[in-house]
Amino acid sequence: MGPERYSENWLYQQIDDTLAFYYPTCMDYENGGYYHSFYDNGELSSDTTKHLVGTSRFIYNFSIGAILGRGDFCIEAAEHGLRFLQEHHQDKENGGYFWTLDGQKVTEDKKYAYGHAFVLLAASKAYSAGIEWAREVIESVYQVLEEHFWEAKHHLYADELTADWSEMSAYRGQNANMHMCEAMIAAYEATSEKVYLERAYEIADAVTGRLAAQTKGLIWEHFTPDWQPDWTFVETEESKQEFRPNGFIPGHSIEWSKLLMMLDRHISEPWMLDRAIHLYQEGYQKGADTEYGGIIYSISADKVMMDTDKYYWVQAETFGASALLAVKLGKPAYWQRYEAMLDYCSESFIDQKHGGGWFNTLFRDNLRQSAIKSEKAKADYHPIANYYETLRVLAGA
């Protein structure tokens, strides 16, 4: 049993089209690394920001391309980004990685767990793709996380520190921990070192168990230093709002269901499937837009629709989670959800005119919000990650 539409050949073609949209225009041979911001037609915008998350996501994308044999350029492009990560994003004096650069100049030097999660993810996939020296990056960033971010009492990572590690923000967030779980799974799959798998397990249990229980089964985004829900926090810095969103985020519940199924490949315990089904169903039912299609962005603390815009990554995580649950449970209803979501994405998000890439954000009625298709941290990592994970389960991997 499997999807009637959007099967392996279609998924491979989408990966090829997405990589072709960015490459070779994204390659910055003058400063190193990648250009991050693109108009719909693939032309570069005037924004020259190099974001730690964006750099890492490009490395991930090209590494997946190399793993899947999508072209010889992929391994060179991935290693190009990994060198820039180590030479310019990395803080040679204090350790860890700077958040943003302009060219090679540091523009924000704070250290964020979210960014370091993506460094670990990128290095892990680069190592899996055959870049041998990426293993040193995996090991070194893990040590940074252990020394500065890990809060053993809570089995979770703190969120933000100053460049010299002298001051830790009071803010705690689930989003960084969600991506840390993903990165730890990738590190384990790359190296077979069980310390990474054990850490992924700890994070998943803490967030989907203890934290979700505090907020009646959905996962709140913001927490106090002792990991109690912070119902009043609102991020005021625009550059951080996408990483610290307001309200319950149905897409994050759905994304967690996917991560639990990825963890289940290696450690299978009944609570993982139970929570994955619950989080998927809660996220889908509370986020599904029955009038215009897709999944809305956020709901309020009392579970009322709040931000009804459509974000590309939410839809991508939904088709990926649907595929993993379809294979795990053997229920056709999940394949129907998978195909319905990709019908919606093909019509509204995947750019058919310019041959590749996903639009970033749409209004509720699916109208475009901007002529910028991709900027800063996007890189279409979410679609490529979910194409890849769907290919894996279709192949029985």
Query: Could you give the residue numbers annotated as active site?
Result: 252, 382
Contacts of 182 (CB under 8 A, 6+ apart): 117, 121, 259, 262
Closest C-alpha among 168, 148, 158, 264 to residue 208: 264
Residue 347: other Cβ atoms inside 10 A: 12
Q: What is the DSSP letter of 171?
A: -
Query: Would you mind telling me the total number of residues written for the chain in this entry?
Result: 397
Residue type for 364, please? Answer: R
Q: CA quadruple 230, 233, 239, 241: dihedral positive or negative?
A: positive
* Exposed e or buried b per residue across 329-342, where buried means at least 16 C-beta atoms within 10 angstroms of its C-beta: eeeeebbebbbebb
Contacts of 19 (CB under 8 A, 6+ apart): 61, 62, 65, 70, 71, 74, 356, 384
Q: CA quadruple 351, 241, 381, 321: dihedral positive or negative?
A: negative
d(Cα 41, Cα 182) in Å, to the nearest integer?
31
DSSP states of 32-86 as a string?
A: SSB---EETTS-B-S--EEEHHHHHHHHHHHHHHHHTT--THHHHHHHHHHHHII
d(Cα 382, Cα 324) in Å, to the nearest integer?
15
Cis geometry, peptide bond prior to residue 24 (ω within 30 degrees of 0): yes
d(Cα 261, Cα 228) in Å, to the nearest integer?
26
d(Cα 8, Cα 14) in Å, to the nearest integer?
10
Closest C-alpha among 88, 82, 202 to residue 137: 82
Distances (CA, A) of 87 to 31, 77, 378: 11, 16, 22
